[in-house]
Amino acid sequence: MRKGGNAYRKLKILSDITGAARPGVLTALMEATGAGKTTLLDVLAGRKTIGYIEGEIRVNGYPKVQETFVRISGYCEQNDVHSPQITVKESLIFSAWLRLPACIDSKTKTEFVQEVIETIELGGVKDALVGTPGLRGLSTEQRKRLTIAVELVANPSIIFMDEPTTGLAARAAAIVMRAVKNVADTGRTIVCTIHQPTNDIFESFDEVKNPFLRLELFGPLYFLAIMKKLKKRTLYSLLMLS
């Protein structure tokens, strides 16, 4: 909000946004830095607690209930924060034991952690220490994939990712996006923001929809939907906004 005279007036950032993110589809929000991609992502994920939000978000056709939604969704931050003193596998085990239901036995949790390691292609570094960025341990690209894996071991139906390729070289970005597509192949709904993707990343998309989102202040925000064939006939969540 901005103060005009003695009263505050609303400053509209996003308007007339509608669309859907489907299971097995890698959905990307793409625009320049500062255009509002992360704002929209945070609104969809229910992470915005200030300001005014109007409209409706539905999950599988029903109005979104945030208390329930947080249990079926994950969020990968742009900044990768991990404990440097433990290994990759220990990081995933720690997340799984904290976030998976207590009714799931240890054997099942361990097997699921191993499945996530294979999906995100972390097998080669699973016993490596995470380390400190810029000093030792995992590379930036490996840390990004670990961030995705830490969310995936919670077994969410919907995963939000804030610019997963930012700060990565072309080859590293391609490796991360391959891991993201592997997650989409499991039938989960993936919504991520993308900034300046390379041609190789664009060419890896199976289907690109026409842009239909607009920003009130900053121009068009493009919506890309990449349809994936499901490896498993698993029903995950359909996210819709209007």
Domain ranges of the chain: 12-241
Domain boundaries 12-241, corresponding CATH code: 3.40.50.300
**DSSP assignment of 157-198, as one string?**
SEEEES-TTTT--HHHHHHHHHHHHHHHHTT-EEEEEESS--
Q: What does the alpha-carbon distance between residue 96 and residue 115 come to, in Å, rounded to a whole number?
A: 12
pLDDT in tens, the chain (242 residues): 455 555 667 777 777 777 788 888 888 887 767 767 888 889 889 988 777 888 888 888 888 888 899 999 999 998 899 999 999 999 999 999 999 999 999 999 999 999 999 999 999 999 999 999 878 899 999 999 999 999 999 999 999 999 898 888 889 999 999 999 999 999 999 998 887 777 777 666 554 433 334 444 444 444 444 444 434 434 456 666 65
- Whether the CB-CB separation of 13 and 6 falls below 8 Å is answered with no
Local structure of 77: helix, strand or coil: coil
CB count, 10 Å around CB of 107?
A: 8
